[in-house]
Amino acid sequence: MSVLTNIKRKMFSEQATPYVLLLPAVIMILIVVLFPLIFSLYTSFTGYKLTRPDTLFKIVGFRNYVRIFSDWDFWVAFFRTVGFLAVVINLEFLLGLGIALLINKVTWGQRTMRTIMMFPMMFSPILVGFQFKFIFNDNVGILNNALQALGITDAAIPWLVDGWLAMGAIAFAEIWMSTSIFAILLLAGLFAMPKDPLEAAQVDGCNAWQTFRHITLPFLMPFAYIAMTIRSLDVARAYDVVDTMTGGGPAGRTELLWTLIARTGYDSANMGMANAMAYVSIILSIAFTYYFFSKLVAARRYMGGAQ
Amino acid sequence: MGLFSKLSTALLAGATAVTMFAGGASAGEFDGYTLRVKLIGGAQYEPLYTRIPEWEAATGAKVEILSRKNHFELDREIKQDIASGSINWCVGSNHTSFAPQYGSLYVDLNVILPDDVIGSISNNVNKASTVDGRLVQLARHSDVSNLYYIKSLYEDEKNQADFKAEYGYDLAPPETWDQVKDQAIFFADPPNFYGTQYVGKDEGISGRFYEMLVAEGGSFFGSDGKVAFNSEEGVRALQWFVDLYEAKAVPAGVPNYLWDETGLGFASGTVALSLDWGGWASFFNSADSKIQGDVGLIRAPKGSSGKRTGWSGSHSFSITEACDNKQAAASFITFLTNFDSQMVEARTGLLPTRPDALEAIIEESKAKGDDWLVHVFETFGTSMAEDAFAVPPTHLWIPISNELFPQLQAAIVGEKTAQQALDDAAAAANQLIEDES
């Protein structure tokens, strides 16, 4: 009895209160995040097949990882994903910046423009995938028919077959769908921007480019890095677009980590191997997130006048 | 005695009518029960589900549709359910290509369905629906592919003369796949017109290769249990696809085509010959198609072994082992595959799995004077009875297909030779088989 009273007293002591209050959140995080992470890490050392629960206990050691490290196709998909992320995120940033600057200049109908700008985000990625799949279809697609009708080409351009063209088509669809995320965040940055430095720059005789380069852009960079961090994690949404448009093919030419892992884990039911692939690819997410956060910290420091 | 006999007969007739209506269930038999089901969704599958309220009214049960997705998504969901041990539903849509993967998820219908219900479905279809000796699915409709062609191309006298001069034999709808190749190359005029086309990715191209392999006299698995598709016959089969692609007789995008692209492509009037299933037949000859009134159909051609291609599958219903009311589930799938249900699907052009429904739809089409549908059902009926064969009955079919199709694509787009591609696919497939053991 006295022991219980002791525990109660300790639990409700003033020092313990913050920990007790945090406990539900910690428990939730453990259940929602940590447990699945540990479970999937465990399964990556097994020959776990989704359709055969008994294989959950079939330990195969590092075999899945050994196969991944010697699998050329996996590493091609890995570095293709790095390239895709780098190109798509940078282009989305540039286009989003342009749209944000233009909308910021609009004095009439700005709210309507902002709403219209967000339309592509409202479509499901699967619908976007189907839409662009038919636009880029070599035989009955709108694009080839338009190019042929305008006399620009008399060939059926294999948009979704040629490796570079197919990646370009997928990147185009992804950029179309998600550029507005950058535009919205950068527009928020522009709205929050103080007018004094801009007026001071004008008084000092800076031209438009100098004002943009040395005042507007540095102010916007923390917003840009936040957007990039979000997008680098969120761009995996592109799975549906890639899966619908090319399925990672033909001949693996547009294979990204997400299509490879999903096919291995779900279609082939080889979840042990898929989780091992996912753990190796986490390196990619950590690298991108670390890079953007370090850039964000640097940009904030710059804005704080440390440099 | 006479009155009693009449009364008995009347009661029996009434009971039979209810039984026939409900597909095996007595009125109110499942009062208050909710049957949880996961069904394949999509325009071609939905008309059948309009009959579900009839079954509900007849049995007193309610049907709760938990999922209504395309089969690939449904397959993923079912696999997740198996993995998480959350099989809290009774009836699921299934397919002969997918069924072997699900292990003991579904019951053996031989045990819970009356023989007359099973016997009402075509023997061939039931055979393909059997996995390890267990009938795990009751088929609602089948798919097998036959060759559609544009008739006017063959009637054109200039085409006939030019073809004869170039190939040395008369231009007529092809009897062999070699003739298809000749004619496809002859008709092709890219980018405006193509000789033929094929589905070029996922299980679609694996299945097309598989049926061509069989028609060439090869087999997918060897007697040692390993894959044997990288044989001489396999190379010949794959080379057919490669040659057409190299000759630009097929659209450049075919490695990325699935069923919608080939169907819509043929209906656009830009393709001379197209191997496809019966589900498109009505659409090809409708006002929405540019080849309305100009479509011909013949049985799938033969390979060099003399055997016709006939990769076939059936969409079906299965009952889970975990189901808490298997009788209700059995009644439900019996109802959805009974004569009236199959007629609903047949009127949309789908091929019934019941011989009596096939006969009836042919008669109905004759009565309406719809010669095209009569020809379609006769052709597909013959093909189903004589040429059809399912994929190898192994749970590794889909995983092996996932290793095979990127290699087939690599050969088609010229990255590898046919032999190299098949050897690489065979190595990966054999590794899967070894892992299993």
User: For B250, which residue in chain A has the nearest alpha carbon?
Assistant: A139
Distance in Å, alpha carbon of A99 to nearest chain B alpha carbon: 34
The radius of gyration of chain A's CA atoms, rounded to the nearest angstrom, is 25
Q: Which of A71, A128, A104, A55 is nearest to A216 (CA)?
A: A104
Q: Of the ranges B24-28, B303-307, B313-317, which one carries the lowest mean pLDDT score? A: B24-28
Measured distance CA(A188)–CA(A99) in Å, rounded: 12
Give the confidence band of B27 by pLDDT, cuts at 50, 70, 90: low
Scan for tokens 């008709």, then name that residue: B187
Does one domain contain both B412 and B361? no
Task: Indicate the average pLDDT of chain B.
Answer: 91
Q: Do B399 and A158 touch (CB under 8 A)?
A: no
- pLDDT digits 0-9 by tens, B273-291: 999 998 899 899 999 999 9
- Residue B386 domain-assigned (yes or no): no
Scan for tokens 């060439």, then name that residue: B216
| pLDDT of A112 over the 50 cut | yes
User: For B398, which residue in chain A has the nearest alpha carbon?
Assistant: A268
Residue of A148, A161, A267 lying closest to B256 (CB–CB):
A161
User: For B189, which residue in chain A has the nearest alpha carbon?
Assistant: A155
Cβ neighbours of B83 in A, within 8 Å:
50-51, 53, 271
Q: Which of B319, B316, B322, B317 is nearest to B87 (CA)?
A: B322
**What is the number of domains present in chain B?**
2
pLDDT at A304: 60
Q: Do A249 and B253 touch (CB under 8 A)?
A: no
Give me B226's structure tokens. 């390993």
Give the mutation candidate from A42, A254, A267, A270 for the B interface (greatest B CB count, under 10 A): A267
Pairing of strands B134-135, B91-95: unpaired
Give me B178's structure tokens. 């070699």
Cβ neighbours of A138 in B, within 8 Å:
191, 251-253
Measured distance CA(A112)–CA(A99) in Å, rounded: 14
Q: Are the CB atoms for B26 and B18 separated by under 8 Å?
A: yes
Distance in Å, alpha carbon of A297 to nearest chain B alpha carbon: 41
- pLDDT digits 0-9 by tens, B103-132: 889 999 999 999 999 999 998 899 989 999
Q: Report CA B126 to chain centroid distance, whole Å.
A: 14
Distance in Å, alpha carbon of A154 to nearest chain B alpha carbon: 7
- Residue B172 domain-assigned (yes or no): yes
- Residue B157 domain-assigned (yes or no): yes
Q: Do B191 and A158 touch (CB under 8 A)?
A: no
Distance in Å, alpha carbon of A94 to nearest chain B alpha carbon: 31
Measured distance CA(B184)–CA(B196) in Å, rounded: 6
Q: Do A249 and B399 touch (CB under 8 A)?
A: no
Q: What stretch of H or E contains B26?
A: none
Give the confidence band of A284 by pLDDT, cuts at 50, 70, 90: confident
Does one domain contain both B161 and B303? yes
Does one domain contain both B51 and B123? yes
**Mean of the pLDDT values across residues A190-214?**
89
With 0-12 / 13-18 / 19 or more C-beta atoms within 10 angstroms meaning exposed / middle / buried, residue A230 is middle
**Mean of the pLDDT values across residues B190-196?**
93
Q: Of the ranges A240-254, B12-26, B62-76, which one carries the lowest mean pLDDT score? A: B12-26
| pLDDT of B17 over the 50 cut | no
Distance in Å, alpha carbon of A87 to nearest chain B alpha carbon: 24
- Residue B321 domain-assigned (yes or no): yes
Distance in Å, alpha carbon of B287 to nearest chain A alpha carbon: 18
Measured distance CA(A247)–CA(A260) in Å, rounded: 9
Give whole-number Cα distances, B225 to B129, B134, B430, B434, in Å. 21, 21, 9, 10
Q: Are the CB atoms for A134 and A245 separated by under 8 Å?
A: no
Cα end-to-end distance, chain B, whole Å: 69
> A4 CB contacts (<8 Å, ≥6 apart)?
none
Q: Are the CB atoms for B129 and B139 separated by under 8 Å?
A: yes
Count of beta carbons in the 10 Å neighbourhood of residue B375: 17
Distance in Å, alpha carbon of A116 to nearest chain B alpha carbon: 31
Give whole-number Cα distances, B295 to B185, B274, B401, in Å. 19, 11, 32
Q: Do A250 and B83 touch (CB under 8 A)?
A: no
Name every residue in B having a CB less than 8 A away from some CB of A: 72, 75-76, 79-80, 82-83, 85, 101-103, 105, 190-191, 194, 200-202, 251-253, 255-256, 261, 264-265, 268, 270, 395, 398-399, 402, 405-407, 409-410, 412-413, 415, 435
pLDDT at B26: 60
- Residue B44 domain-assigned (yes or no): yes
| pLDDT of B23 over the 60 cut | no
Give the mutation candidate from B102, B245, B256, B291 for the A interface (greatest A CB count, under 10 A): B256
Coil vs helix vs strand at B28: coil
pLDDT at B21: 41
Does one domain contain both B222 and B168? yes
Measured distance CA(B415)–CA(B435) in Å, rounded: 28
Distance in Å, alpha carbon of B195 to nearest chain A alpha carbon: 13
Among positive and negative, which fits the CA dihedral A108, A109, A111, A114? negative
Largest CA distance in chain A: 92
Does one domain contain both B226 and B273? yes
Cβ neighbours of A68 in B, within 8 Å:
none
User: For B429, which residue in chain A has the nearest alpha carbon?
Assistant: A268
Name every residue in A having a CB less than 8 A away from some CB of B: 47, 50-53, 137-140, 144, 148, 154-161, 166, 245-247, 249-252, 263-264, 266-271
| pLDDT of B223 over the 70 cut | yes
| pLDDT of A61 over the 60 cut | yes
The more confidently predicted of residues B415 and A1 is B415
Q: Do B270 and A266 touch (CB under 8 A)?
A: no
**Mean of the pLDDT values across residues A34-53?**
90
DSSP line for A31-82:
IIIIHHHHHHHHHTTBT-BTTBGGGGG-B-TTHHHHHHHT-HHHHHHHHHHH
**Mean of the pLDDT values across residues B244-267?**
93
> How many A/B residue pairs have CB atoms within 8 Å?
109
Give the confidence band of B2 by pLDDT, cuts at 50, 70, 90: very low
Cβ neighbours of B399 in A, within 8 Å:
267-270
Measured distance CA(A72)–CA(B424) in Å, rounded: 13
Residue of A138, A154, A266 lying closest to B252 (CB–CB):
A138
User: For B268, which residue in chain A has the nearest alpha carbon?
Assistant: A140
* DSSP-assigned beta bridge partners for residue B275: B147
pLDDT at B300: 98
Q: What stretch of H or E contains A156?
A: none
Cβ neighbours of B200 in A, within 8 Å:
250
Count of beta carbons in the 10 Å neighbourhood of residue B158: 7
**Mean of the pLDDT values across residues B408-421?**
96
- Residue B382 domain-assigned (yes or no): no
User: For B396, which residue in chain A has the nearest alpha carbon?
Assistant: A268
Distance in Å, alpha carbon of A120 to nearest chain B alpha carbon: 24
Q: Are the CB atoms for B209 and B237 separated by under 8 Å?
A: yes
Give me A144's structure tokens. 């080839």
Domain that holds residue B187: 144-311+391-436
Measured distance CA(A97)–CA(A93) in Å, rounded: 6
Does one domain contain both B303 and B236? yes
- Residue B377 domain-assigned (yes or no): no
Q: Is the peptide bond before A250 cis (omega within 30 degrees of 0)?
A: yes
Q: What angle do CA B148, B151, B157 make, to 5 degrees?
A: 140
Measured distance CA(B41)–CA(B46) in Å, rounded: 6
Does one domain contain both B148 and B191? yes
Provide, rounded to the nearest whole percent, the portion of chain A with pLDDT above 90.
41
- pLDDT digits 0-9 by tens, A139-191: 888 999 999 999 998 888 999 999 999 999 999 999 999 899 899 999 999 99
Task: Indicate the average pLDDT of chain A.
Answer: 87
Q: Are the CB atoms for A237 and A129 separated by under 8 Å?
A: no
| pLDDT of A267 over the 90 cut | no
Q: Is the peptide bond before B191 cis (omega within 30 degrees of 0)?
A: yes
Does one domain contain both B185 and B240? yes
The more confidently predicted of residues B51 and B85 is B51
The CATH number of residue B279's host domain is 3.40.190.10
Does one domain contain both B135 and B206? no
User: For B436, which residue in chain A has the nearest alpha carbon?
Assistant: A47
User: For B425, which residue in chain A has the nearest alpha carbon?
Assistant: A251
Q: Do B395 and A51 touch (CB under 8 A)?
A: yes
Q: Do A250 and B413 touch (CB under 8 A)?
A: yes
> B221 CB contacts (<8 Å, ≥6 apart)?
B227, B228, B392, B394
- The pTM is what? 0.82
Measured distance CA(B177)–CA(B231) in Å, rounded: 19
| pLDDT of A23 over the 60 cut | yes
Does one domain contain both B261 and B326? no
Domains and CATH numbers, chain A: 72-303 (1.10.3720.10)
- pLDDT digits 0-9 by tens, A117-136: 888 888 888 899 999 999 99
Measured distance CA(B7)–CA(A62) in Å, rounded: 75
pLDDT at B1: 37
User: For B260, which residue in chain A has the nearest alpha carbon?
Assistant: A134
Coil vs helix vs strand at B273: strand
ipTM, interface predicted TM-score of the complex = 0.75
Give whole-number Cα distances, B170 to B153, B154, B157, B173, B207, in Å. 13, 10, 11, 10, 31
Does one domain contain both B306 and B331? no
The more confidently predicted of residues A208 and B137 is B137
Provide, rounded to the nearest whole percent, the portion of chain A with pLDDT above 70.
94
- Residue B334 domain-assigned (yes or no): yes
Give me B89's structure tokens. 């539903």
Give the confidence band of A2 by pLDDT, cuts at 50, 70, 90: low
Distance in Å, alpha carbon of A306 to nearest chain B alpha carbon: 52
Distance in Å, alpha carbon of B255 to nearest chain A alpha carbon: 6
Give the confidence band of A3 by pLDDT, cuts at 50, 70, 90: low
Does one domain contain both B243 and B329? no
